[in-house]
């Protein structure tokens, strides 16, 4: 097992960022709910503890409090923001209540680098976001860094190996923040830097073999990053004992099914069964215009078709899923912490229980960027590893209103042109998503000498970090012009192309 650094979550929107920064230093980190008993941390063999920030005030009666026994485990503790205030409060210092938050950039001056700021400049730009602050040190601590607003911006107790930082080293806006984190992990906790992609793959392949034995594993392949990486990894471990099922729901993009067949079946020699259920999906969607109803029909039909195809394959003991770490973290929901909103995609319609299949989730310890690294290392091409997200209901939520074969065909053609131009220009890799939307509105155009009464295609191209918020991408005009004229010239039944310039919020990324 890799050595573990525990990140104790007090509801900060940055908790997952801390865990990722630690892993970027090649040290394994795990997020724990703030109420986790210290004994659990001891049993897990954690070699260091980070107390996250959080939106609460330590003075609030509802302030999340950790098990104080964690200060007696004998492992180093670093408190960040709310974490430093907690340490101040619980270890005998004094915290002052404040009615307003100190938010944004500040300058940190380091008086004595100690272990935390070893080999770092004496002045650093740092990012603050806190209300309360420490005004009297707990016994045993000394202050080694100050900001304009805080005499105790960095504190340490070298004897007990306790440290506190008032600002956020984990965010991008803090200069050399990751070096501060690394100094804590390596310089203070003496953690082994053994969390590497190669180590993960080796361990994971061995684990999968041990768990699966001679049984068969089924996996629903969508072509997205997570299921693709899970398939490639499991295949590396057990080869033909893995069978993948790819459902063609009739709502796929141009060439998508052929790509899946050629990449996985031909290149990787994975046993992929393509189930063509497009007629069933389109029949059930006939006449349906309400977006939520469309989603429900597509979701329900998928589970039904998937279950039937798994049954027809038969003889398997495991169902594999590309569940990621953010799906399994029990995030603390305080304020508007976006991490707490991430829903679990677990157990497609309760299928594993119904079919008495055990779950195999080889990516459940990984963040998305780590999944991509594993994908590249097992030989998946860039087009898969860095593929843009595509919604489960597919083009079903990109044809506005009723879905027909004709509207799908128009949308597919327009979308293929958009994707081609985005790839050719390199913009595909720079944006979060780029796709076409079919609008069931006809407008007048003119082709040659004739009037042409045809449909409208919307272009949706956005930048985002996590899909919670998004902004429209300022593509160069000549690229937009090329996309637009190719669509109106090459796709019959389209007379007009419009660009969506809405941000999220108030709009959403998809149109339905
Ligand atoms: P919205 O439209 O809510 O989209 O801003 C946020 C992200 O989620 C994707 N999305 C979906 N993914 N099933 C999915 O698997 C869905 O029903 C669905 N709706 C939206 C969307 O593409 C974007 O990345």
Predicted local distance difference test score (pLDDT) of residue 465: 86
222 and 297 assigned to the same domain = yes
First-to-last C-alpha distance (Å) of the chain: 44
Decide if 22 is inside a domain. Answer: yes
158 and 225 assigned to the same domain = no
Decide if 505 is inside a domain. Answer: no
Predicted local distance difference test score (pLDDT) of residue 346: 55
Instruction: Provide the CATH number for the domain around residue 278.
Output: 3.40.50.620
231 and 370 assigned to the same domain = yes
176 and 259 assigned to the same domain = no
Q: How far is CA 92 from CA 88, 228, 462, in A?
A: 6, 52, 49
Given ligand 1 and candidates 226, 467, 507, 512, which is best to mutate, with the most ligand atoms within 8 Å of its CB? 467
Instruction: Provide the CATH number for the domain around residue 473.
Output: 3.30.300.10
Given ligand 1 and candidates 295, 303, 509, 512, which is best to mutate, with the most ligand atoms within 8 Å of its CB? 509
474-478's contacts with Cβ under 8 Å and 24+ in sequence apart are: 475/427
- Ranges in the chain, pLDDT < 70: 336-347
Cβ atoms of 58 and 85 within 8 Å: the answer is: yes
Decide if 507 is inside a domain. Answer: no
428 and 475 assigned to the same domain = yes
Calculate how far, in angstroms, residue 394's C-alpha sits from the geometric centre of ligand 1: 10
Q: Which of 170, 188, 206 is the last residue of a domain?
A: 188
Decide if 322 is inside a domain. Answer: yes
Which domain, by its residues, includes 303? 197-385
Decide if 504 is inside a domain. Answer: no
8 and 67 assigned to the same domain = yes
Q: Which of 357, 385, 413 is the last residue of a domain?
A: 385
Half-sphere exposure of 128 (CA within 13 A, CB side): 23
- Number of domains comprising the chain: 3
Calculate how far, in angstroms, residue 506's C-alpha sits from the geometric centre of ligand 1: 15
User: Residue whose CA is closest, atom 6 of ligand 1?
Assistant: 467
Q: Which of 188, 210, 232 is the last residue of a domain?
A: 188
Q: Is 322 in the pocket of ligand 1 (CB under 6 A)?
A: no
Catalytic residue list contains 81:
yes
- Tokens of residue 119, six digits: 């080999």
Task: Report the interhelical angle of 278-285 vs 291-313 (nearest 10°).
Answer: 150
Decide if 183 is inside a domain. Answer: yes
41 and 179 assigned to the same domain = yes
- Bridge partner list, 434: 461
How far apart, in whole angstroms, are the C-alpha atoms of residue 413 and residue 110?
Answer: 59
Instruction: Provide the CATH number for the domain around residue 60.
Output: 3.40.50.880
215 and 322 assigned to the same domain = yes
Cβ atoms of 277 and 390 within 8 Å: the answer is: no
User: Residue whose CA is closest, atom 19 of ligand 1?
Assistant: 391
Q: Is 500 in the pocket of ligand 1 (CB under 6 A)?
A: no
Torsion of CA 18, 19, 23, 24, to 10 degrees: -30
Kind of pairing between the strands at 450-463 and 433-447 = antiparallel
Cβ atoms of 457 and 415 within 8 Å: the answer is: no
Q: Whole-prediction pTM value?
A: 0.91
Calculate how far, in angstroms, residue 55's C-alpha sits from the geometric centre of ligand 1: 27
CA-based nearest residue to 166, from 85, 56, 87: 85
Cβ atoms of 51 and 10 within 8 Å: the answer is: yes
Predicted local distance difference test score (pLDDT) of residue 29: 97
Predicted local distance difference test score (pLDDT) of residue 246: 97
Predicted local distance difference test score (pLDDT) of residue 267: 87
Decide if 392 is inside a domain. Answer: no
Task: Report the interhelical angle of 197-212 vs 368-377 (nearest 10°).
Answer: 80
- Tokens of residue 290, six digits: 């309400």
- Select which of 25, 130, 156, 170 is catalytic: 170
Q: Which atom of ligand 1 is nearest to the CA of 295?
A: 17
Catalytic residue list contains 25:
no
How far apart, in whole angstroms, are the C-alpha atoms of residue 389 and residue 403?
Answer: 21
CA-based nearest residue to 72, from 143, 186, 4, 161: 161
Predicted local distance difference test score (pLDDT) of residue 340: 61
460 and 432 assigned to the same domain = yes
Predicted local distance difference test score (pLDDT) of residue 148: 86
**Beta-carbon neighbour count of residue 84 at 10 Å?**
29
- Tokens of residue 298, six digits: 């597509």
Cβ atoms of 228 and 368 within 8 Å: the answer is: no
Cβ atoms of 260 and 383 within 8 Å: the answer is: no
Predicted local distance difference test score (pLDDT) of residue 396: 98
Backbone angles phi, psi at 467, to 5 degrees: 70, -5
3-state secondary structure of 17: helix
Cβ atoms of 102 and 149 within 8 Å: the answer is: yes
Given ligand 1 and candidates 510, 511, 512, which is best to mutate, with the most ligand atoms within 8 Å of its CB? 510
110 and 209 assigned to the same domain = no
Q: Is 113 exposed, middle or buried (0-12, 13-18, 19+ CB in 10 A)?
A: middle
Q: Which DSSP string corresponds to 384-410? A: HHTPPP--TTGGGGTB-SS--HHHHHH
User: Residue whose CA is closest, atom 16 of ligand 1?
Assistant: 391
Calculate how far, in angstroms, residue 391's C-alpha sits from the geometric centre of ligand 1: 5
Q: Is 391 in the pocket of ligand 1 (CB under 6 A)?
A: yes
- Bridge partner list, 472: 462
């Amino acid at each position: 097992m890799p050595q573990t650094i525990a990140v104790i979550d007090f509801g900060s929107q940055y908790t997952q960022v801390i865990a990722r920064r630690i892993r970027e230093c090649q040290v394994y980190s795990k997020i724990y709910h703030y109420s986790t008993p210290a004994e659990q941390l001891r049993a897990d063999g954690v070699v260091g503890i980070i107390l996250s920030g959080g939106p609460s005030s330590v003075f609030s009666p509802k302030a999340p409090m950790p098990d104080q026994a964690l200060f007696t485990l004998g492992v180093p503790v670093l408190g960040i923001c709310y974490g430093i205030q907690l340490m101040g409060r619980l270890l005998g210092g004094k915290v002052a209540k404040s009615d307003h938050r100190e938010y944004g950039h500040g300058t940190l001056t380091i008086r004595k680098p100690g272990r935390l700021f070893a080999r770092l400049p004496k002045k650093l730009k740092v990012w603050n976001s806190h209300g309360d602050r420490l005004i009297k040190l707990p016994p045993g601590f000394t202050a080694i860094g100050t900001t304009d607003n805080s005499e105790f911006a960095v504190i340490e107790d070298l004897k007990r190996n306790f440290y506190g930082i008032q600002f956020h080293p984990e965010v991008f806006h803090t200069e050399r923040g990751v070096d501060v984190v690394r100094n804590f992990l390596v310089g203070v906790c003496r953690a082994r830097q053994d969390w590497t992609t190669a180590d993960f793959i080796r361990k994971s392949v061995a684990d999968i073999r041990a768990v699966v034995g001679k049984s068969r594993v089924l996996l629903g392949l969508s072509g997205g990053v997570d299921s693709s990486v899970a398939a490639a990894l499991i295949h590396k471990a057990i080869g033909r004992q893995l069978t993948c099922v790819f459902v063609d729901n009739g709502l796929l993009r141009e060439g998508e099914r052929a790509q899946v067949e050629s990449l996985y079946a031909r290149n990787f020699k994975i046993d992929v069964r393509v189930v063509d259920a497009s007629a069933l999906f389109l029949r059930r969607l006939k006449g349906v215009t309400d977006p939520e109803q469309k989603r429900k029909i597509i979701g329900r039909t998928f589970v039904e078709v998937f279950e039937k195809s798994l049954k027809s394959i038969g003889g398997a003991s495991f169902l594999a899923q590309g569940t990621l770490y953010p799906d399994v973290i029990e995030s603390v929901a305080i304020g508007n912490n976006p991490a707490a909103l991430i829903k679990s995609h677990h157990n497609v319609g309760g299928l594993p229980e119904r079919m008495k299949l055990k779950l195999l989730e080889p990516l459940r310890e990984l963040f998305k960027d780590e999944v991509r690294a594993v994908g590249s290392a097992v030989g998946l091409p860039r087009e898969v590893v860095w593929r843009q997200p595509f919604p489960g209901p597919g083009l079903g939520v990109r044809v506005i209103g009723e879905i027909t074969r004709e509207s799908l065909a128009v949308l597919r053609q327009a979308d293929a042109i958009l994707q081609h131009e985005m790839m050719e220009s390199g913009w595909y890799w720079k944006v979060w998503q780029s796709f076409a939307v079919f609008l069931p509105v006809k407008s007048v155009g003119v082709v040659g000498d004739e009037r042409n009464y045809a449909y409208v295609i919307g272009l949706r191209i956005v930048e985002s970090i996590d899909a919670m918020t998004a902004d429209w991408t300022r593509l160069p005009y000549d690229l937009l012009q090329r996309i637009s004229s190719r669509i109106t010239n090459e796709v019959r039944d389209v007379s007009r192309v419009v660009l969506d310039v809405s941000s999220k919020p108030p709009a959403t990324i998809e149109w339905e």
